[in-house]
Structures are given as C-alpha cells and as structure tokens.
Amino acid sequence: MSDAEPATNVEAGPSTAKPSDPMPGEAKKEPVVILVIGMAGSGKTTLMQRLNSYLHSKDMPPYILNLDPAVTHMPYTANIDIRDTVDYKEVMKQYNLGPNGGILTALNLFTTKFDQVLGFVEKRAETVDHILVDTPGQIEIFTWSASGAIITDAIASSLPTVVAYVIDTPRTTAPATFMSNMLYACSILYKTRLPFILVFNKTDVTPHDFALEWMDDFQAYQRALDAERDESGEGSYMNSLMGSMCLVLEEFYTNLRAVGVSAMTGQGMKAFFEAVEAAKKEYETDYRPEITRLAEERRARTEANKKSQLDRLMRDMNVDDAAPSRTGRGSNPFGPYPRADREELLDEDGEEQEDPEEEERRARETEDMEEAELADDVDPQEHGEFWVFTTDQAKGA
Ligand SMILES: Nc1nc2c(ncn2[C@@H]2O[C@H](COP(=O)(O)OP(=O)(O)O)[C@@H](O)[C@H]2O)c(=O)[nH]1
Ligand SMILES: [Mg+2]
C-alpha cells in the first residue's frame, strides 16, 4: 500500500481475508492447469521459465510439474520433477532401451505413481492460481502414449485444464509445414478434448501475422501455396491436398485461440494469460459437464462390471450344489447357501430359524488343523478345481 493512498481506504478497517479468498457461499478457488505441449525445440521449457518469471513478477507464483525425464538444463525449479522419481538413463540400461524408449518407460513408471502426484497437486490447488506442466521434448511420447493420456485425463478430471500448444513460428513459415503443424494440433485437440491455445513462439525472430492471416482467410493460404509452387515449379499433388485441408481446418480454427509470444523476450505474456482465462471459462462451461458425464459413465460401467463379475462368481460357487458334501450343502463350503436351502430355514413369518447345521459349521471352522487333514482326503477328481485349490492351500498352511 502506498503512502499516497487516501485515508478513507484505511477506515474500511483491516481485513484478514486475502483478495483471492472465496467469499462465504462462493465456490472454492480453483487454479488452472496449463499443459505445455509442442514439437521438440519449439520452446516449451523456455516458455515454462518465462511463464514462471512473469507470474512471480505478478506475485502469483505458480506450481510447477516437470514431466520431461530427459531435460538436462531446466531454467526453473519444479515443485514436482519426474527426474526425482525415475532416472531415465538407468531405465535405458536396465531395460536395454534407446533414448526414446527410455523416456517413454520412465514416463510409464512415473504414471504408476501419478495418483500420489495428483494428491500433492490437489493439496496445493487452493493456494495457487496456475499449475504449469512441462512435457517431454519429443511430442509423441506424451501425446500418443497411454501414460500421456492417463496423466492428461487424471489432471483434467480433477482441475480446469487447458492445452498450450507451442509452435516454432520461424520454422512454420512454409505453407506445407504450417499445415502439418496445424493438423498435428488438430489431432491433439480432438484427442485431449480440452480447451486449446495455439502459442506461436519465437515471435522475436518471426512475427506470427502470416499464421493469423492463413487461419483467418483460406484464400490467403491458397495464394501462399500457389506462390510456393511458382517458385519451386513442382508439387501440384501436395498443393491440392493442402488446399483442401485448409478448408477442412476452418472449423478447427474457429474452435481455438491463437497468441504470439516470445519465450526469450517475454513478449505477449499478457495476451497469453488472457487466452488462458478465456480457455478456463470454456472448460467450466463446455468441458467440465462432458468430463463429469464421462466420469459418471465410467463409474457406472465399472460398477456394472463389478456386479456382473460378482454374479458370475456367485453362480460359479453354486454350480456344484447338486454334488454331495460333508455338510450336505453342496460343494460350496463358504456360502451363500443355495436358495432352496435358505428357504428351508425360514419359518412362516419369513424369519430365519435357528440353523441346526450352523453350529456344526462354526465348530468346523475353528478346527483348522483337522480341516487341513480333511481337505487332504478330498479327491480333486470328484470335487473339481475349486477343491484342488483349497487342498493345496491347506497343505501350504
Ligand atoms: N529466439 C528465440 N529462441 C527461443 C525461444 N524460445 C525458445 N527458444 C530456443 O529454442 C531452443 C529450444 O528450446 P526448449 O525450450 O529447450 O524447447 P523444448 O524442447 O520445446 O523444451 C532453445 O535453444 C531456446 O533457446 C524464443 O522465444 N525466441
Ligand atoms: Mg523441454
């Protein structure tokens, strides 16, 4: 607070609430997770560092996760670093893998612990506004692997999540390269199904105006394609393919926001965070209901699956009811007893009667040693696999 501030503000009395504290009845504050994805060398790690220092300058330090096991120089400090959990070089040695296999396996191993990681993140979620996630240098290791999908889904179903797709602007000035990059971005958009920001990085080297123009006006893109053909005098097949592609991508372009930044100079940070805010709102309105619905569906499916497995187990256990057993209840020693048996035990009021065999069963349960000997006497041929199993167990006991 500056000295020049009017005294009336002071009269309002001291408040212990921080501006970011939720008001009573207000939903609790949620940070936004920014997944930084992009081709190798597009500048993800440099951008992470820039975002980190920008947020620190705004007094809003972020929480940072590094998922790149192979990064050698990290210009920022991560709160959670995959390198603290797995050593990808050791993984390469142990599993006889090359660098990419090593990185992928390291990520897979890390994913097995990701529920714990998410636990840490959730614990800190109320105290930060931004959670930044750096991903492996090679994009496909994250975007086309099971563990990348598991991590993305786990984060996105827990907190508002947006994808920042980083593009190396100086290297996408050729129309065909631009189109390949956009197609890749499109595939990631549809795979992650999360709000998407195209981040044209390295604008200190090449401004991204050309890209905005191409996205806005497909004729401008066509002209660029034609101009390139005139220069090289070849590629009519490629050009007509790219020409029709850009029509297909029109729908995709309308679904996302594009910003130009320079991770090197810090240019475009304000626009970037405005895009993040807009994308976060989009997550709340469009994506969260869908994610909740899918999670609900998954839960219902698991529940139904569990029930059908349990039903099958019950059926399997009762399958030999006709076979004689020591208790006369069939070969199933654990219950539940077959329905017919149970009905015998009910009196007219439907109340359960004292079961005369119950006592015998309990007595038998306590005599473990005797049971083992008994089990030895059972002929597996006669009683099926189930008894073979219990016999072996009893022997081992
Ligand atoms: N000129 C310029 N170079 C950049 C910028 N961002 C990243 N770089 C450079 O691009 C290279 C790759 O960056 P890095 O962050 O390691 O890429 P990553 O593989 O996507 O993590 C490095 O040499 C960076 O210095 C930028 O905004 N401008
Ligand atoms: Mg990197």
> Does the pTM of the predicted model rise above 0.75?
no
Locate CATH 3.40.50.300 in the chain: 27-300
From CA 365, how far away is CA 326, in angstroms rounded? 13
Q: How far is the centre of ligand 2, averaged over its atoms, from the C-alpha of 137 (Å)?
A: 5
Q: How far is the centre of ligand 1, averaged over its atoms, from the C-alpha of 138 (Å)?
A: 14
Q: How far is the centre of ligand 1, averaged over its atoms, from the C-alpha of 45 (Å)?
A: 7
Name which residue sits closest to atom 24 of ligand 1, judged by CA: 43
The CATH code that applies to domain 27-300 is 3.40.50.300
For residue 67, which ligand has an atom nearest its CA? 2
List residues near ligand 1 (CB under 6 A). Answer: 38, 40-46, 137, 201-202, 204-205, 262-264
pLDDT for res 392: 39
Per-residue pLDDT of 119-143, as tens digits, reads: 999 999 999 999 999 999 889 899 9
Q: How far is the centre of ligand 1, averaged over its atoms, from the C-alpha of 168 (Å)?
A: 8
For residue 169, which ligand has an atom nearest its CA? 1
Q: Which atom of ligand 1 is closest in space to residue 265's alpha carbon?
A: 27
Q: How far is the centre of ligand 2, averaged over its atoms, from the C-alpha of 396 (Å)?
A: 54
Q: pLDDT (tens digit, 0 to 9) for every residue of the chain, 397 residues total?
A: 333 333 333 333 333 444 444 445 455 679 999 999 999 999 999 999 999 999 999 999 999 999 999 999 999 999 999 999 999 999 999 999 999 999 999 999 999 999 999 999 999 999 999 999 999 988 989 998 999 999 999 999 899 999 999 999 999 999 989 999 999 999 999 899 899 999 999 999 999 999 999 999 888 998 888 887 766 666 667 777 888 888 888 888 887 799 999 999 999 999 999 999 999 999 999 888 888 888 889 899 999 999 999 998 888 887 655 545 444 444 544 545 444 554 554 555 555 555 656 666 666 666 655 544 544 444 444 433 333 333 334 344 3
From CA 157, how far away is CA 396, in angstroms rounded? 45
Q: Which atom of ligand 1 is closest in space to residue 137's alpha carbon?
A: 19
